[in-house]
Structure 1
């Protein structure tokens, strides 16, 4: 029944990973919904052996049962915004507070966000990897360490092996992340707006190699009101070298314009044709990996850095690293807002969501879904969440550890989830 289930809307790669993560919790059932029969069939092929996951091709049966344990929108913001608004108001009128968790990046200018009832159900506006987990990591670092001068994060999903022409492959979604948009940052106490692909720097990650990074991921609510006592706050996206140059070249050539061209009897936008030619629906046989990096400096110029590499342990079974890294903080956000009985619209980076990071990392470190390699140095080496105290397997290198999944007893199909993941509540 929907009323006793987590309802996941969108059965694509992220929705499937969210359902898999939630299904591993004790006494839990999940309803996975998608209007696309082919997408739903793929989900059934991957998750059909799980007795506590149900599949539905319509939201209709659940629309009247808004007392579900949670409603998770595993779609883009544009695809779910109308439904989110309607559900929020309907629940408010019925005095219900079912958490609504939005995975996609919301449009900060969307007027529907401002109209959400402040005392209505909690609506988390970005609860995946970024926005979501990264903002919570920033909040944890700011709360645990006094006198910070800067926090700079790097985050991104990249192929294990660079794939030309952009050295990038889609792990989920329909569009390449190549849209030109302003990139926000705070530098030396000043709000800064940059072009998304113009300010490119380098980042070396041991075990991966040299990457490029650019200001990209900060949402306006973080730039305007989060941790204002910290003069420098930046959120950068990482890619293999050559990605930003390639995107800039496409823009200069007009290949990402909104102009329409005629192909046969069909008129298509130029950028849609370009994306169709460049898009890789999924990483090739080498798979993908997720990079998380938090670098800090205090007012005495003492540095600290934490780096995490996450790789899916279920890549061959259809679950990418990016999908898992998105799904785990979504499940943590559900727990957080439910336990705290939060209300109304909740933006990434709000202090009320700070513990999502510690919950999510705990789940990742104890999960059979992923392998983590972590390294903490300097000020972050002794912190509660980033430091080496959480290691499951210590490496000889100081401050470095690897979290390995217990794959030896994992059967070929997905039936192992019946007893739940280690680290699940």
Structure 2
């Protein structure tokens, strides 16, 4: 076992894509991957020829691997993020994760002084949204002298949708339900406000994709409302779907089919719903990811509207989904930027606080994730 620049925790879809990008960028000897699933470790080792370790999350051997790393990347369910960030700080290693839970990120941000004393940077929320899309939002907003409105629209969709939901599961079913159920943090009149999910449905179009809809969902705005409170009048995040999705899924939720009260020992409507979604919407159709960030405000005394669009599609050659590419690659890029000294902050931050948007756009373009500005 040799020292590695990066230790990646998780050999699932996102961990595989992080590992792939690191190998493409720096070679197979730059990382080791840890996972409790031996089959996942073996598959990754056979695919990329990298070092893997079949270890449970509680195994003390993980501590040694972290101590020998410059940076730790966690691609596990968000319940693991805080404990591994604490281990990274104790070991003097930088840290990135895919985030996805505001309460956990708040607990991570509370360790800012600990990370600063350890001379490391810890960045939760490095995925797609929260993550890359919010970095683009902050990047766009900072181009203006003043911003009246900032909107972020993101969606992961099947390229060949099947009615009536026109959707296929591209990440955690629990995360999907949370996004659709929990209150959404926005800015209204410059103040942080909570609004209902799956409301404020709007129509939009992307070239080559056609008509779509977007509606409020939780979590995607990350910490932009806190950063721009009192500075931007209106800021919100919405999820993109094919038309008609919102009204159908909202009806499912209003029937109580995502409630968490037991209807029989160990059985809740939500567990049943999640099981049915996984059973019926976990197709393997080629996917695409859409991102649109729009800012309206004043530049040099003139009113302007500026947009950033991304349309990313399934990578057939490497069998990597668009959701994996747009979630894991930015995480890998950010971790590499920290290790290389291109991001110099220390402490616990979120990406939209300190990741340079122009550099992220440039690095994504090297991976054929193209950001169109207009």
TM-score range, shorter chain: 0.7 to 0.9
Query: Is the 1:170–1:176 contact (alpha carbons within 8 Å) kept by the matching residues of 2?
Result: no
Residue 345 of structure 1 corresponds to: 348
1:54 aligns with 2:57: no
2:95 counterpart residue number: 100
Task: Call closer, same or farther: CA 1:325–1:203 in 2, change over 3 Å.
Answer: same
Alpha carbon RMSD of aligned pairs, Å?
2.6
- Note closer, same or farther for the CA distance 1:204–1:344 as it changes in structure 2 (3 Å cut): same
Contact preservation (8 Å) 1:159, 1:283: no
The structure 1 residue matched to 2:239, chosen from 237, 240, 258, is 237
TM-aligned CA deviation for residue 194 of structure 1? 0.7
CA positional deviation for 1:215: 2.6
CA contact (8 A) 2:124 2:349 kept: yes
Inter-partner Cα distance in structure 1 for 2:268 and 2:43: 29
Secondary structure class of the residue paired with 1:162: coil
Runs of 4 or more off by more than 4 Å in structure 1?
280-283
1:149-189: CA deviations, max 9, x gaps?
22211112111122345322122335361221110111332
- After TM superposition, the score normalised by the length of structure 1 is 0.76
Secondary structure, counterpart of 1:7 in structure 2: strand
Q: Take 1:50 and 1:68, find their aligned partners in 2: how far apart are those partners?
A: 19
1:15 is aligned to: 15
Whether the 8 Å contact between 1:312 and 1:371 is mirrored in structure 2 is: no
Shift of the alpha carbon at 1:281? 8.6
Q: Confirm or deny that 1:249 pairs with 2:242.
A: no
Instruction: Give distance in 2, aligned partners of 1:291 and 1:153.
Output: 11
Q: CA deviation at 1:87?
A: 3.4
Q: Matched residue of 2:193: which SS?
A: strand
**Cα distance change of structure 1 residues 280 and 337 upon mapping to structure 2, 3 Å threshold:** farther
Q: Which residue of structure 2 aligns with residue 393 of structure 1?
A: none
Q: Distance in 1 between matches of 2:324 and 2:122?
A: 21
**What is the count of residue pairs matched by the alignment?**
357
Shift of 1:84: 2.3
- Aligned-partner SS, 2:26: coil
- Report Cα offsets for 1:120-151 as digits up to 9, x if no partner: 33211101111111121122212333233222
How far did 1:10 drift? 0.8
- Structure 1 residues 285 and 174, CA, compared in 2 at 3 Å: closer, same or farther? closer
Per the TM alignment, residue 267 of structure 1 is displaced from its structure 2 partner at its CA by 2.8
Which 5+ residue runs of structure 2 have no aligned equivalent? none
Calculate the TM-score normalised by the size of structure 2: 0.86
Within 2, Cα distance between the matches of 1:239 and 1:145? 29
